[in-house]
Structures are given as C-alpha cells and as structure tokens.
Amino acid sequence: MKINLKTSMIFDAICACSLIYNHGNYNKMAQNECLNILKERTGEIFKEGAPSYSTMCGIVAGYIDDPSCATLDDLYLMFQSISDVDPVIRSKVKNEFKQSFIFPTLDMLKNGGAVKYCEYITALKAAGFEELWREKVLPIEQEQIKKLQENFETADIDSILKTISDLKGSDCDSVTTYISLLSYPVSFTLDETSFLDTINDHEDYYKNEFLSMIAHELMHGFASLELTEIYSKFMESSRYLRSTHKSLIKDMHSGDEEEFVMAAEYYILWRSKIMSKEQIVLKNYSRYGGCVPMALYIFDYMTKEQNPIENYDEWLKNGFKNGLFKEENIFSTIDALLDFPTDYDNFFANLFLIFHRCSYILRDAQLTVTEDIKNQIEQLTNAQFVLSNDRQVSFADSTKEIGADIVREMLTSDHMIVERIEFQNKKDALGFHFAYGGSNVGVLPIEYNGEKFENSYILNMAYHKDKSNRVEFSFVCTNARYLITSACPDYVIDIDTKDDESATYRAYGIEMIEAVKKAESIVMLLK
C-alpha cells in the first residue's frame, strides 16, 4: 500500500498544547468540545501558549520511530532527554529552509523550553487526555481513514510520487498520512514522506483534494535559502507583490516556500491528469485569500517545459536569475489562463481574481501613497473632474451628508462615474464609508495614526432587478475618498430566479466583467 493512513495520539496532544487557549469559532464542534474540556481541567497552565505545533510535530516525527503507537509517557521522556534528541534531529534536517525554523525551536527547547513542555504533557496526562482522545477524537479520525481507504485504496499514485521525486531529487515511493482532528483547520509536512492532514468532510476531499494534499505536503522542504532570498527580493518589486507577500507571511502565517509548493502541487496534479489547467485555475483563485499570484504564474511556466522538470530548486533559481519571471507579466499571464465568464464558476473566478488583486494594492496604497491620482484618472478616462456643490453623497446602499468645507468633484466617462471627495485630513477620508451588498471581498481593518478603520475600501458587484448591475469601488488616496460606479449596459440586470441562480452570469457575465475591468483600471494607477 503506497498510502499509509494512521492516527497519532501524541500529534493530537501537541496540537492541543497550542490550541487549548487559542482555538476559534471556525473549529470543528468535536474539536472545540475536547479543547474546552481540557481547558476546564487544566486551569491556567496553557495560557502562555506553546511553540508552533507543526514544528513540534516535525521534531517528534524525526525522533520517535512510530508516532502512531506512542503515548504521552513516550513524549515526556523524549523532551526530558532533549540533549539527546537535539543532535539526532539536526543530523536529519538537511534542507536550509527547514533548518531556519526547526533549529531555533531546538535551541529554545534546550534553553528551558523542554522543561516547560514536560509540564504541559504532565498536565494533559492529569487531565485524562489519553482517555478523552480515545473516546472523542479517535473514532472521528478512524471514520475519515475508512472513507479515504474506500476512495483511494486502488488509486494509482505512482505518477504523483515519481514527479515529486524528480522535483525534489529524492526517492519518494510511498506516503504516510496521520489524520488529526485537533489540528483543524491546519495540515502540515512532517518529513520527506509523511504529513499530518486534518479532518475534512466535504465531497471534493474524497475525490481529488486528498491527492492534492499529498502533492502539496510532500513538496515542502525542497527550497534552498538562496531561492527564498531571491523570492523575497522579487516580491518587493511592486506594491501588489509586496502586499500579497506581506499578507501570506503575516496574515496567513505561511512561509517563503509556500507559493513554490503550490505551483509544484498544480504541476503534479496536471502531469498526473488528476486536474486540468482549467480546474486548477478555479482551485487557485481564492486560496489564501488570493494572496498567492506567483503560484499560478510559475505553474503556467512549468507546463510550458517540453521535458519533465528535475531539481525544482535550481529550475526556479534559474528562472529568476535569467529573467523568465517578470513582475510586469504576472497579470497578463494569469488573465490568459481564465475562461470566459459565461458560467457561475468562471464568472466568479474572473471577478474575484480582479477583486483580490485590487484589494492587495489598496491595502498598501491607502497608507503609503503621497501623491493624488486625480490627474492620472483624467488622462486615463480622457475626461475632467467637475466641481459639485451637492452636499448629499449617494453611493452603493446609502447616502451621506458632507460639510461645506469639503471639496466634491465628479467625472463621467463611458458608463463610469468617478467621484472625488477631498477631506481636510486622511483620517476623515478613511472614516467616510458606505454600506453595500452584493459580491465582494472581505476587507481587513487598517491602522492609521494609532486608529483602526473598518471598511476603508469597497470592491463590490451589485445586482439589480430595476436598473443595470454595477461595480462599486471606493478607496482613499492621500486625503481624498474616491467613489467609482462602473455601470453595465442598461440591459444587464439581475435575472436570477430560485430555479436558476446562475442565469445572470450565463447571460451577462462578459459585460459584467468588462465593467469590473473599467473600475480596476483606476486602481491600477496605484500599483
């Protein structure tokens, strides 16, 4: 059997140490139940938090021969003997990128962290963790293993493992997967041929997402420090890339290897004929909140190679050094992969790809741009802003009153209205926002001069039965709030019904995306 599916009480215990005081509402009901019970039984001991559970599980996997059979006592003895564990792990971790986060954790453990972790394990044992795990966690994990075995017992994963071996330059002829409830919603690599996968209950998981997970997790640990340094420098080449990279690292708590791993994952699935290019585009557009454009960009170049790629690290370094990857080509390359927006899935792939990249540009631009884009907008649209004395501003789903000292200007061009409202300071501009409803992206709050501002920008597609559908963008540049309404042609209205919720996209998807692109062109002045 090339796919070995197991459970591990000690991996779940490590996850619990980190999550007892840090689990959110997105977690599984059964997971929350267990963590809440443990919190009640252990008091304040876990309040200080614990080291990254993915890194800790990786260290444990490198030392304990069979984590599926290990107990809390085994885990305790391991950390009690950290001076013996340390050289074993260091000798096994050859990849520089993995060393960059595993070695500091080992240093922390040697400098008192292991003693603290032994206290955590003792607390779990006293709280009856092992019994609780067997009663409430193990049955759920075993049920998932059963479903996976039914779907993939006869699956031919030879091509997946062969491509992974070629890309990494290592032998990978089988994979061990540990199923974990308490890690939810996180999955992560353990070593070259094993990973921990969390509980999943959606249908796609049992069709191809699990194979996708194999391709993804086993590709981790290939990148050299030279490659990640080249990548980090490249991601500073534009406002857009800088913003997406910042979100990937800080908001998504990922690393500098992730986009490369995702690109490899897509390449493996494509070469193994598990997913088509079209399916991969639909899979990618909203992952990580749309902050991983390089994954799809690099994947496209991988598919153009005549021969199978070997030594992925070197191939990527050469791509950057030789100018194969260019910041100015990212948008056009990705856009060329999209199908026409004439059905539900492709419409939203087109829509949110644009929304996401505008979002990342605006997150940074609103705080850092020091010159207004008024003149650039006039040049772009070949129209002029005209002063307006009307003090009532209607936009999206609400109307607001502005003071007599506030400058309001309006520009009209080709079914698009751009309003410019200039405030005395940026704070007032950031706080001036509107209610809206339709298809939109979530907006992270931004901080300015010590204050937090919600809904500082809007990227919305509004649907109407009695007038044309329209795009509503709003953002701040210097002290000015821009309100952009890009209307579709008059005949483009919402025609969805209860029996057909995709009629609008099929009939008018192209016209609606064209309206989005007009609004996007304004945002691109800030990129």
The answer to whether residue 465 is domain-embedded is yes
Domain final residue pick, 311, 336, 361: 336
Same domain, 395 and 507: yes
pLDDT higher than 80, residue 23: no
Same domain, 369 and 452: yes
Report pLDDT for 322.
96
pLDDT band with cut points at 50, 70 and 90 for residue 153: low
Which of the pair, 98 or 372, is modelled with greater confidence?
A: 372
First to last CA, the chain: 50
pLDDT band with cut points at 50, 70 and 90 for residue 22: confident
The answer to whether residue 220 is domain-embedded is no
pLDDT higher than 60, residue 26: no
Same domain, 191 and 45: yes
Average pLDDT over residues 280-284: 89
CB 293 within 8 A of CB 330: yes
Same domain, 234 and 275: yes
Same domain, 355 and 313: no
- Least confident range of 149-158, 304-313, 451-460: 149-158
pLDDT band with cut points at 50, 70 and 90 for residue 401: very high
- Least confident range of 308-312, 442-446, 518-522: 442-446
Same domain, 182 and 253: no
User: How many residues belong to the chain?
Assistant: 527
Average pLDDT over residues 375-380: 98
CA distance 379 to 145: 60
Same domain, 324 and 358: no
What pTM did the predictor assign? 0.86
122-146 exposure pattern, b = at least 16 Cβ within 10 A, e = fewer: ebbbebebbebbeeebbebbeebbe
CB 470 within 8 A of CB 438: no
Q: Where in the sequence is the domain holding 273, given as residue range(s)? A: 225-336
Report pLDDT for 96.
86
pLDDT in tens, 176-234: 999 999 999 889 999 989 999 999 878 778 878 899 999 999 999 899 999 999 999 99
Tokens of 293: 């454009």
Domain final residue pick, 293, 313, 336: 336
SS3 string, 403-422, reads: CCCCEEEEEEECCEEEEEEE
The answer to whether residue 319 is domain-embedded is yes
pLDDT in tens, 408-453: 999 999 999 999 999 999 999 999 999 999 999 988 889 999 999 9
The answer to whether residue 121 is domain-embedded is yes
Report pLDDT for 88.
95
CA distance 143 to 140: 5
Same domain, 138 and 245: no
CA distance 38 to 31: 11
Same domain, 408 and 466: yes
Report pLDDT for 41.
95
Continuous H helices in 26-174: 29-42, 53-61, 72-80, 82-92, 96-108, 114-126, 129-132, 138-152, 158-168
Report pLDDT for 27.
59
The answer to whether residue 436 is domain-embedded is yes
CB 88 within 8 A of CB 63: yes
249-280 exposure pattern, b = at least 16 Cβ within 10 A, e = fewer: beeeebbbbbbbbbbbbbbbbbbbebbeeeeb
Same domain, 362 and 475: yes
pLDDT in tens, 250-274: 988 899 999 999 999 999 999 998 8
- Least confident range of 141-145, 153-157, 254-258, 393-397: 153-157
The answer to whether residue 216 is domain-embedded is no
Same domain, 188 and 323: no
pLDDT in tens, 460-479: 999 999 999 999 999 999 99
Domain final residue pick, 296, 316, 336: 336
CB 434 within 8 A of CB 398: yes
Number of structural domains the chain divides into: 3
pLDDT in tens, 35-86: 999 999 999 999 988 999 999 999 999 999 999 999 999 999 999 999 999 9
Average pLDDT over residues 121-140: 97
- Radius of gyration (Cα) for the chain, nearest Å? 26
Report pLDDT for 124.
97
pLDDT band with cut points at 50, 70 and 90 for residue 372: very high
Same domain, 136 and 283: no
The answer to whether residue 207 is domain-embedded is no
Report pLDDT for 298.
98
CB 507 within 8 A of CB 494: no
Q: For residue 501, how many other CB atoms are within 10 A of its CB?
A: 10
Which of the pair, 294 or 186, is modelled with greater confidence?
A: 294
Helix (H) or strand (E) holding 472: strand 470-477
The answer to whether residue 212 is domain-embedded is no
CA distance 152 to 148: 6
Average pLDDT of the chain to the nearest whole number: 93
